[in-house]
Amino acid sequence: MIAYWAMMLSVSGMYTMYIAGLGFSKEEISIAVTLNTVFSLVGQNCIGFLVDKFRCVKKILFMSISVGIIVAFGLVFAKLNWQIYILVSVWGFFLYGTIPLSETWCIEKLKETNEQRNFGKVRGFGSIGYGFSGILIGLLLQTFGWRIYYFYIFISVCLTLITINLMSEKTSTHNEDHIVKMDISYKDAIREIIKIKPLMSMIAIIFMYTFVVRGIYSYLGVLLNDFGGGPLSLGVTYFFDATPEVITFFLAAKLLRRFHSKNLILIAFLLQILRLSLILVFNSAIAVILLGSLSGFAFGLLAASYKTYIYELAPANYKASCMSLSESIIGSSAVISAPIFGVLFTKFGTNTAILVGLIINIISVLLILQSSRKEKMRKLNY
């Protein structure tokens, strides 16, 4: 998790500021963000289906991440818009598309010893890698410039591949032989998943959250540029964003024993509302950097609660497909929000984009509260 998320930051966290330095306009950056998001969505569906079909997580994960080496070399020579668009799309499909797979593999490993509730603790180490990677790459870019960027991507991808290669894929699943011989149908997977109403309700809630967070987060480099920040400011923002995640990920198992997943998600929404409100008030790069900690706390609560919840509700034979499909539906909110927030940032300005996100979050909280109230009323009637 440390190696994986340190690697993921190298492109996913920095490419908007990189291509802005190449002379891309905000409209062109918006196209790149949208392409990256769309191909991530397609990639995680294809990769998740292949894992359920062939039951070889390690090989598929290794091969997908290996494509990152091609992206690193490609960026050295890519200067034209269409070349950058292709590389960003490839990274989205093959690398960002592996996020549900990496987390499914982690949960399956923990489930062997009935420790799936501790997924948050393991995922917390990913936040450590993400945060320190942000500081490291920010310092390197500030010192040596963007020429160091390609080497950083290459080294981080190679370290992740070495780590995966050292891991064992053997599982103690009792029905493993049966699963291997099954003819996995993606249509059947979708049909089974949509029957589970609590699962679909959870996906709808996270959809709304992701719409705002990814919409603003995708343009974090643009936002900091508008406030006068540079690569180091962006790296430090990721550090402040990721560090609190570690705390909430490690506390997740205890919190989930005491509180329902929806309650933790409601807190995540409230923290995002507070964050966006304060950014609007202070309107500076320092505010964006420091308030990233609120986003980190929120994401830790959210991810640790909903991912294990979805995994446990998923049909036995379609765990990877369910995680991937769920992430794809949730991820489709980012596909929609990328061009919408792109227009808001480019045509109406940073403050308007943040204000729209704030309003959507407030409406979402009201809907969650209404839903919780209806559930309580139904229980009282029974």
For 279-327, the pLDDT digits (tens) are 999 988 899 999 989 988 888 888 777 777 777 777 766 776 677 777 7
pLDDT, mean of residues 189-203 = 75
CA distance 288 to 284: 7
**pLDDT exceeds 90 at position 192:** no
Q: Is residue 358 predicted with pLDDT exceeding 90? A: yes
User: Tokens standing for 17?
Assistant: 């500021």
DSSP-based three-state secondary structure for 139: helix
Q: Comparing C-alpha atoms, which of 173, 150, 161, 162 is closest to residue 87?
A: 150
> Angle CA(234)–CA(337)–CA(124) in degrees, nearest 5?
50
Sequence-distant (6+) residues with CB within 8 A of 139 are 232, 235
Q: Are 259 and 312 in contact (CB under 8 A)?
A: no
Length of the chain counted residue by residue: 382
User: What distance, in Å, lies between the first and last C-alpha atoms of the chain?
Assistant: 44
Domain boundaries along the sequence of the chain: 2-167+176-381
Q: Which amino acid is at 343?
A: V
What share of the chain has pLDDT > 90, as a percent?
32
SS3 of 171, please? coil
List b or e across 73-94, with b for residues whose CB sees 16 or more CB atoms inside 10 angstroms.
Answer: ebbeebeebeebbbbbbbbbbb
The predicted model gives 144-160 an average pLDDT of 95
Cα of 306 vs its chain's centroid, Å: 13
**Does position 174 have pLDDT exceeding 70, yes or no?**
no
Give the global pTM: 0.76
**Is residue 64 predicted with pLDDT exceeding 70?**
yes
pLDDT of residue 181: 41
- The mean-pLDDT minimum among 2-6, 19-23, 215-219, 279-283 falls in 215-219
CATH architecture of the domain 2-167+176-381 equals Up-down Bundle (1.20)
Helices (H), the chain: 2-12, 15-21, 26-54, 57-77, 81-94, 99-111, 119-144, 149-166, 176-181, 186-194, 197-217, 220-226, 231-258, 261-282, 285-313, 319-343, 350-381
Q: Which amino acid is at 83?
A: Q
